[in-house]
Each structure stands twice: as C-alpha cells, then as structure tokens.
Structure 1
C-alpha cells in the first residue's frame, strides 16, 4: 500500500470518528466499519490494528470529555468486551484482505455486526448483576440487545460500503462486485 493510500484511508477513518462524536445515535456509528475496513484494506499488519483501535479509543476519549459518564466507561469491564468485539471485527476484515469486493464487504459487515452483538451482550451478561449467570440469563441479555442490533447492522453495512467505495474511487481502483 502506497503512503498516499495510507494517508487517505486514515483521513477517511478519522472523519468517521468525528461523525461518531458529533452524531450520537445509539448503535448507529461508523466504528465497526472502521474496524472491518481497517482489517480489510490496510496492508500493514500494524496499521490494521493501530488505526481502528486508535479510532475507537479516540472517539471514546472525545465522548468522555463531553460527558463524565462516558469517561468512566473507559474503566469498566464493558470496555473490555466492546474492544474485544472490535478485535474480532478486525480479524474478520483481515480474512478478506486482498480480496475486497462489494459482496465481501456486505458479508463481512454481517459477520461483524453479529460478532459485536454476541460478544458485547455476553459481556453484559457476565458483568451486570441484573442477569442470572445461567443460560436463561445469557438469552435474556441477547433478547434485550435485539432492539439495538438493527442499528448496528445497518450502520455496519452502510459505513463499510461507504469506506470501500470512497477508498476505491479515490485510489482509482475498480470496484469489484464479487
């Protein structure tokens, strides 16, 4: 990957972090897409991890300055499970590295949204006293998370496709369908 491509992709991702901070719609944000596409598009193994996790951390810190409750989140166990889900999403993206296409971006987005849902809600089940620590409690955490899943899924697909198309057009590469 050329230096100018790395800069372009990094600028796109930072712009999306700012979108997350400015437009705070629950579970509708570009962060999952940043993780997926970072894993899918960065050729550098270091940048695949540093840029998406850095973007997530930057967004959390900026949100923390706007609301003290958001800053406290950085020191909770929920923080661990959210970041673990983003690590899983980066891994999903790396699976499609060198083979990015519209179809694979959509498929990766579906997998990413499901991974986030499963990991983050399992984390809520493990750490929140409201849930019984049995299979029924786990299923309750997933059931209560379902209303948020739609926004996660839609934002994952929309932002991932947006990053892919803008990046491909900006680097004068063709947009592969399959």
Structure 2
C-alpha cells in the first residue's frame, strides 16, 4: 500500500471520528433521559480497530475527546475547563475502550456488539471510581459508595450501550461500505509493513 493511500485512509478515519464527536454538540446545555448517549465508545473502538499506527489509534480519539470535552464543558459552565473532577478515570476508561477496538480484526455486527458491551462494562467500572473519589461526591469514599455509584450509573451506561451500537454500526458499517466503493481505503498490514 502506498504512502498516499495510507494518508487518504487515515484522513478519512480522522474525519469520521471528528464528525461523530461533533454530534456531542447537538443538545448542549440540556439534560434528558438520554444523557450519555454519545459517540465516545464507538469512536474509541473505531480508532482502535482501523488505525494501523497504534499511536494514531490512541491519539486521534483521545485528542478528539479532549477537544469536544472543552466545548461541552464550556457550554455547561461558561468557562474553559481543561480537566474536570473524575476526568482521569473517564480518560483511562477511554484508553481501555481503544484497546478493545484493537482486538476487532473483522468489522461485523457480532464483533461490534461484543466490543460495545465490553467497552460499556469498562466505562462503568473504571469511570465510577472517579465518581466516588471526586471532591463533593454524593457517594461515600468506600467500597459501599462505589457500589452505590455503579447502581446509580446503570441508566447512563444503558444509554452508552445503545449509542455504542448506533454509532458503532454507522461508523464501522459506513467505513466498510466505503471500502467496497473506494479500494484505497482498504488496508493490508503486510503491504504497510513493507512500505514503512
């Protein structure tokens, strides 16, 4: 695979991730029963699955998350918030979600479904550590508090699972369809190794 084809492929992958992240801005400032219906889990899985360069696999989704967090936090707090309470745990869970994506070798419904469930579970158990440890937490700083946070997070994680499936099917399905129309988007790891 030529360097030009790799650059076209990477540019399209980045565009898909950024476009998905932009959907976070559709309902800024409003809370609803669909809070946490975001493209974040799907973005992480997608980046992990499709970028051959593992630095890009982690960097592109993480940078996109960070920039979109800046916009979302500004909309809610009317000020720039670089890192919010619990951000470490959310970003750590996001890194693990990208890792899950690296295990998707064939993009099909079953693999995206399994990865979606695994990434939601990771987000649930890791990010809720931050919910317990953050300043002013409504949960006691104990294992019992952590269990309370896990139970309280179930509706949000349900929304994340649905969004992982919806966005995952759109992103993975869209890219797989595009590969059938534009062969330059296809990737052969052996060819890429020969040209690196």
Interval containing the TM-score (normalised by the shorter chain): 0.7 to 0.9
Q: Which residue of 2 aligns with 1:53?
A: 62
How far residue 53 of structure 1 moved from its aligned partner, in angstroms, is 0.2
Report SS of the residue matched to 2:52.
Answer: coil
With normalisation by structure 1, the TM-score equals 0.87
Please report the RMSD computed on the Cα atoms of aligned residues, expressed in angstroms. Answer: 1.9
Aligned 8 A contact 2:93 2:127 in 1: yes
Q: Which residue of 1 aligns with 2:39?
A: 30
The one of 9, 18, 26 aligned to 1:5: 9
Structure 1 segments unaligned to the other structure (5+ residues): 174-178
Report SS of the residue matched to 2:153.
Answer: helix
1:21 matches 2:30: no
The one of 129, 134, 138 aligned to 1:122: 129
Structure 2 segments unaligned to the other structure (5+ residues): 29-33, 182-196
User: How many residue pairs get matched?
Assistant: 171
Is 7-16 or 80-89 further displaced after alignment?
7-16
Q: Partners in 2 of 1:121 and 1:69 — Cα distance?
A: 25
With normalisation by structure 2, the TM-score equals 0.80
Report SS of the residue matched to 2:80.
Answer: helix
Q: Which residue of 2 aligns with 1:176?
A: none
Report SS of the residue matched to 2:139.
Answer: coil
How far residue 69 of structure 1 moved from its aligned partner, in angstroms, is 5.8
